Amino acid sequence: MIREQLTAAMKEAMKAKDARRLSTVRLVQSAIKERDIAQRGAGKDEASDDDILQIMQKMIKQREESAKIYEEGGRAELAQQEREEIEVIRSFMPEQLSDEKIEEICRAVIAEVGAQGMKDMGKCIAVLRERYAGQMDFAKASAIVKDLLK
C-alpha cells in the first residue's frame, strides 16, 4: 500500500514540477529497493509496509541529525532542505503518537508481557515495534520502558 502511495506521489510531483518532493520520494523508493534486494539475497519476500515504515523512520532520524549538524556549521539553507525532506517523508507515515500516549501504551505492554525487570525490556520493545511501527519514536519508548522497569 505504501509503495502505491509513493508511486502516485512521484507522478504527482513530476506533473507539478515539485523537485524537492520528487527527489525525496525517489530517495525513499531507492532505500526500499535496496532492502528488497538484500532480502531477496537472504531468500525473503520484498519489504512489507512495516519494513518500509522502519526505513522511513530511519531516514527521518538521519535527516534530523544532518539538519542539526548543518545548523551548528552555519549552513541554514542545507538544514532547511533536510527539514523539507523530513516533512515529505512524514507525509507517508501514520500520525505520530504523543509522548503521553507512548507512555500509556508502554505501561499496557509491560503489564501484558508481565515484565518484571530490565531483563524483559527486549520483549516489551519487540511488542511495541510489531504493533506501532512508524507511529512512535522507539528511542523515547525504550527510555520510558527502561524508567518503568527500574
Answer yes or no: is pLDDT of 15 > 80. yes
Right CATH number for 2-90 from 3.10.20.740, 1.10.600.10, 1.10.1510.10, 3.40.50.920? 1.10.1510.10
Q: Which three cell numbers stand for residue 79?
A: 538544514
pLDDT of residue 41: 79
Residue 113: which H helix or E strand, with range?
helix 99-113
Answer yes or no: is pLDDT of 133 > 80. no
Locate the domains of the chain by residue range: 2-90, 99-149
**Average of per-residue pLDDT across 45-67:** 90
Answer yes or no: is pLDDT of 136 > 90. no
Q: How far is CA 22 from the centre of its chain?
A: 19
User: Which of 74-83, 102-111, 133-142 shows the lowest per-residue confidence on average (mean pLDDT)?
Assistant: 133-142
Mean pLDDT of the chain: 90
Give pLDDT tens digits for 99-108.
889 999 999 9
Q: How many CB atoms within 10 Å of residue 64?
A: 13
| Predicted structure pTM score | 0.73
Which range, 45-49, 79-83, 137-141, is most confident?
79-83
What percentage of the chain has pLDDT greater than the value 70? 100
Domain 99-149 of CATH type 2.40.50.100: no
pLDDT of residue 54: 85
- What residue type is 50 in one-letter code? D
